[in-house]
Chain A
């Protein structure tokens, strides 16, 4: 009996040691952009482009980390000059996200008195699964996207939901030790 217990303990320890190391989640906040969220891994800031028929072409700020073969991205597109078209600009971003993809979920999102949309899609060519949330905040399209890559393979992982649901638009609801996000130069 003692031998069995020891073997089980050893097995459990080995499993814990060989499991992929998940980085701790950290809180981030941008007072100027008006939101906070949480993500694991090392967050990097990148620049990108966004294009829509209604929105036109805009620079995008991308806050991105990869942990355990899940890519976490917050994409911010400043459309302040067209903010009076907020509803259509957000609808267009949601539409573009899922256009031509297999949609697994398309549901209401509601956070801190703001309404948005949450969608899950399967990427073409078995490139993974993305869960995203879309919001319109202070003249900006804000999209959180978590993609489980094939190398991870756990397409039902709760980490995607944890990420997209971590957003808040009230700074008081951000983590106490949230890190201020620098803006891309």
Chain B
């Protein structure tokens, strides 16, 4: 009996040591962009471009990390001069995200309670060619289109992982709700 117990403990310890190392989740905040979010892994700042028929060409700021073969991305675009067109700009972004993809979920997103609420959309799609599954959340707040996308890559394979949900649901627009000690996100130079 004692041998079995010891063997079980050794096996359990081995399982823990050989499991992929999960980085801790950190809270990040951007006072200038007006949101906070939680992400695991090392967050890098990149720039990119986006183009939509309604929105036109835009430069994007991307905050990205990869952890345990899940890619976490926050993409921010500024539409300060077109805030009254925010509904169409947001709708176009959501539409482009799911266009020609298999949609698994498409539902209301709401961040913050009551009069502070920001309404958006949460969508889960399967990527073509078995390239993974992405859950996205899309919001337009104070002239900025903010997209959160978490992609479970095939190398991870756990497409029902709760981590994409944890990521997209961590966003806050009332910055007093961000965790204390949140790291300020670096903006591109």
Chain B, interface residues (CB within 8 Å), range: 20 to 34
Q: Taking the nearest CB of chain A, how far is it from the CB of B14, in angstroms?
A: 48
The SS class assigned to the A binding surface is: mixed
Q: Taking the nearest CB of chain A, how far is it from the CB of B115, in angstroms?
A: 5
Q: Which of A84, A92, A109, A113 contacts B117 (CB 8 A)?
A: A92
Q: Restricting to B75-100, which residues have a CB under 8 Å from any CB of A?
A: 83-92, 94-95
Are B95 and A115 in contact (CB-based, < 8 A)? Answer: yes
Are B86 and A108 in contact (CB-based, < 8 A)? Answer: no
A78 at the interface (CB under 8 A from B): no
Known A85-B86, A87-B89, A92-B119: A108·B95 in contact at CB below 8 Å: yes
Are A86 and B95 in contact (CB-based, < 8 A)? Answer: no
For A139, the chain B residues whose CB sits under 8 A away are: 84
Q: Which of B85, B88, B114 contacts A53 (CB 8 A)?
A: B114
Known A91-B108, A91-B120: A108·B54 in contact at CB below 8 Å: no
Q: Taking the nearest CB of chain B, how far is it from the CB of A139, in angstroms?
A: 6
User: With A84-B142, A94-B119 given, can you name 9 additional A-B contacts, CB distance below 8 Å?
Assistant: A53-B115, A87-B140, A94-B108, A110-B91, A113-B88, A115-B91, A117-B91, A136-B84, A139-B84
Q: Restricting to B129-145, which residues have a CB under 8 Å from any CB of A?
A: 139-143
For B88, the chain A residues whose CB sits under 8 A away are: 113-116, 136
Are A115 and B87 in contact (CB-based, < 8 A)? Answer: yes
For B43, the chain A residues whose CB sits under 8 A away are: none
B26 at the interface (CB under 8 A from A): no
When C-beta atoms are compared, the residue in chain A nearest to B83 turns out to be: A84
For B139, the chain A residues whose CB sits under 8 A away are: 87
Are B110 and A95 in contact (CB-based, < 8 A)? Answer: yes
A83 at the interface (CB under 8 A from B): yes
Are B95 and A110 in contact (CB-based, < 8 A)? Answer: yes
When C-beta atoms are compared, the residue in chain A nearest to B109 turns out to be: A91
